[in-house]
Structure 1
Amino acid sequence: MASKNERAEMKTMIHQMTYGVEVEMTAITRESAAHVTASVLGAGSSVHYLGGAYHKYQVIDPQGREWLFVSDCSINAIDSNGRQADSRGAYSCELNTPPLYLADMDTLQNVIRALRNAGAKTGARYGCGIHVHVGSKEHTARSLKNFINLVFSQEEMLYKALGVDESRIRNWCVPMNNRRGGYSEHGTPTNFMEDLKGCKTIEQIETAWYKNFSGSAPEYCRTSHYDESRYHLLNLHRYFSTRGKDCNTIEIRAFNATLHAGVIRSFVLLVLSMNAKALTSTRIKAEKNPIMTAGNEKFAMRTWLVSMGWTGDMFKNPRQHLLKNLASNSAWRFGKSGDLYR
């Protein structure tokens, strides 16, 4: 468990980090979504059609930041009357936010609420999901390994807490030591986590990543936007392909589609806290959470969140969102009677 000072440091750090969110939706056109967003962002906002392969609409907010609405062929689109629509057509709609800070959370939530009120719909039935990015230029080989080990250690709990269905795990957010496809329900096991142990530099981590998940050299893989390795719970292809650029981020892909502003807030806080934990820890081991393994899911999640600074009113509702899908007892590790989960 992190010390009180370490938890306080993590709570401070998350206010200084940037994040971005991709929110997939349908039943609203990209043009309409852009104008709805501009109305929320206020006077001085402008809407522009950029076109291109993703048929982009751009909203420039009063601070000069770019909010994009793009098409995504994975969305099972419907029109505003609920009829099937073209997956690349006007009703295929994905919001890409600019880099934001926690101070911008009210703005993001107001945009989400306005889109929902304007008729946007989302959910697994429409093939939609949510991805959260966190700015990652400050990572070293040590902290990057920490992030990987953190996700590997907690991935079963994350999948369950987030309610990720099997098809999404299998296709779009595969476990850290598996490769998409093959004979296993969650992909084909690889040697990535074993190879990671010997990595001392970011370049070595990159080589291990692409070798196991794409089967090719980094200099080839990192230039491909849709490299096969991107489809993991923790997408490091995003990190390696943008390294050295202002847009450098790490992406978490496991979030179910929602237009509930409070749930999206909990997703963002979770990713920021995981990043802070990776950056501040001397070493995070690649060991499965023993409390989760023993079966007390809620206690495992609650104590893990506390170890990342999740205390106080700021985290009350987000914590409830992340505990609601888990079983057992959040207050007692071994159950109130002390005879369980041993």
Structure 2
Amino acid sequence: MNRKEIVKRLESHFKVKAKYLGVPSFAYELKAQEATFIINREGKVVNSKSKEIVELDKLLGKTKPFESDSIKISIDEHNGKSLRNLINMIYSKQGLLKRALNFEDDLVKDDFVSKINESAIDTLEDFKEVLESASQGSCPGLGFNFEERIATFNLCKELEPDQLKAFKKLVKIIDRKAKALKYASAKVKVTNNEKYTFRTWLLRLGMIGNEYKMTRKILLENLNGNGAFKRPLKEEA
């Protein structure tokens, strides 16, 4: 378990946010009710008062299992074209998705998207051949295991628990839509109203009604603009 994961587990357990202290310690400080803890550069948890190293398992005690830092979907019902749809859908909204969930890295790179759209792809084997011929690191946020017929989204360790739940729902609905569509475009559209553009896309995917109300809220809260109006309202003189 790396330091970022340790911090997230402590935040989830104590229901408080850790503070990054920066130079020179590069440590995190977490103020719980019973004590203040420092997570140092080596990932050790230290009681700031006693200076004693605290074992993470003992500190957390009996707590519910930490959610997986990846999202897995079955590709059993996919073919090459539907997996291309999946990649294209993610790529077309990747910029907004990264801002919505504070991802630092791309899920898929430009060269891979170009390659799968320039190639004749019908079957899973076709998709696998193109993936294996692509440059290393061209699909960093999404891994494929063709033997087990599983695709894995790998950037989830960066997410807060509520963001992870929202992303899981989004992945599930993108997966379903990718299999239903004959073709999904990878074209990235420039927008000056991020909230409206992303909200419209979520609704087109089928994320409609009270069932997805909180999910939409979480996915839109970090974006700029107005979700209700395509053109931002002019300020009154």
**Could you say whether these structures have the same fold, taking a TM-score greater than 0.5 normalized by the shorter chain as the test?**
yes
| 1:17-36 paired onto structure 2 within 5 Å | 25-26=5-6
Q: Which residue of 1 aligns with 2:169?
A: 269
| 1:96-245 paired onto structure 2 within 5 Å | 114=64, 130-165=69-104, 169=105, 173-178=106-111, 191-196=114-119, 198-214=120-136, 232-235=140-143, 238-240=144-146, 242=147, 245=148
* 1:320 to 1:78, Cα distance in 2 relative to 1, 3 A: farther
Q: Which residue of 2 aligns with 1:43?
A: none
Structure 1 residue 280 corresponds to structure 2 residue 180? yes
Structure 1 residue 255 corresponds to structure 2 residue 177? no
Asked if the contact 1:301/1:323 (under 8 Å) is kept, the reply is: yes
Asked if the contact 1:136/1:239 (under 8 Å) is kept, the reply is: no
* 1:310 to 1:80, Cα distance in 2 relative to 1, 3 A: farther
Q: SS at 2:154's partner residue? A: strand
- TM (normalized to structure 1)? 0.49
Amino acid paired to 1:281: L
Asked if the contact 2:87/2:108 (under 8 Å) is kept, the reply is: no
* 1:205 to 1:298, Cα distance in 2 relative to 1, 3 A: same
Gapped runs of 5+ residues in structure 2? 14-40
> What's the offset of the Cα at 1:328?
0.8
Asked if the contact 2:79/2:122 (under 8 Å) is kept, the reply is: no
Q: SS at 1:130's partner residue? A: coil
- TM (normalized to structure 2)? 0.68
Distance 2:97 2:210 in 1: 22
Q: SS at 1:315's partner residue? A: helix
* 1:299 to 1:191, Cα distance in 2 relative to 1, 3 A: closer
> What's the offset of the Cα at 1:320?
0.9
Q: SS at 1:204's partner residue? A: helix
Gapped runs of 5+ residues in structure 1? 1-23, 30-35, 37-74, 93-110, 121-128, 180-189, 215-227, 338-342
Q: Which residue of 2 aligns with 1:217?
A: none
* 1:115 to 1:78, Cα distance in 2 relative to 1, 3 A: farther
* 1:143 to 1:136, Cα distance in 2 relative to 1, 3 A: same
> What's the offset of the Cα at 1:233?
2.6
Q: SS at 1:232's partner residue? A: coil
Distance 1:279 1:264 in 2: 23
Q: SS at 2:69's partner residue? A: strand
Distance 2:109 2:91 in 1: 6
Asked if the contact 2:82/2:181 (under 8 Å) is kept, the reply is: yes
Output one character per residue of 1:152-206: Cα deviation in whole Å (capped at 9) or x when no partner: 21111111111113xxx1xxx4533248xxxxxxxxxx8524434x223322221
Asked if the contact 1:136/1:250 (under 8 Å) is kept, the reply is: yes
1:309 to 194, 206, 225: 206
Distance 2:123 2:65 in 1: 43
Asked if the contact 2:83/2:178 (under 8 Å) is kept, the reply is: yes
Q: What is the number of equivalent residue pairs in this alignment?
A: 194
Distance 1:332 1:213 in 2: 41
